Amino acid sequence: MEVLGMLGKPDWFQSRKYTGWGLTPKTWQGWAYLAVMVVPVFAFNWLYRGPGEIRIAAIGIWALIFVLDTLDIMARLKKDERETMHEAIAERNAAWFMVLVLAIGIAYQAASSAVRGMFAVDPFIIAALFGAMIIKMATNICLERKN
């Protein structure tokens, strides 16, 4: 992705460890970068009075650039072996918690809808669980083939 001429530098950021996922600015350049990427969205939304489709497209393109640049920065962050292992354990624990909550949500929706006489479960919750299962399976297959 670096070929695309991304804007942010990994030296300006650190991995977010305690408050979710993503990056946290650690220098003034990181904070300036964040302002340069976020402020235009609000300014354009507030100032632009043209067709809504153009507003949505412009904000969508800007958001896509921001997301791609953030992913590029995250991929280029340097971590030692210990940091990588800690992150992997934290991600695993978070994933298990999310799977548990989603499974409880499906069970609750199934039971409460069955009591009302019509079975209904949110398809997005089911898609999240099955999507995660497919990604886990594909990852394990790829890792086994590499070893």
pLDDT at 6: 67
Tens digits of pLDDT across the chain (147 residues): 444 456 888 999 988 777 777 888 999 999 999 999 999 888 888 888 888 888 889 889 999 999 999 889 988 888 888 888 888 888 889 899 999 999 999 999 999 998 888 888 889 989 998 898 899 899 889 889 987
Domain ranges of the chain: 2-78, 82-146
C-alpha 9: how far from chain center: 19
Asked if 71 and 1 touch (Cβ cutoff 8 Å), the reply is yes
Question: Torsion angle of alpha carbons 141, 83, 85, 144, nearest 10°?
Answer: 20
Question: Cα(101)–Cα(107) distance, rounded to whole angstroms?
Answer: 10
Whole-structure pTM value = 0.61
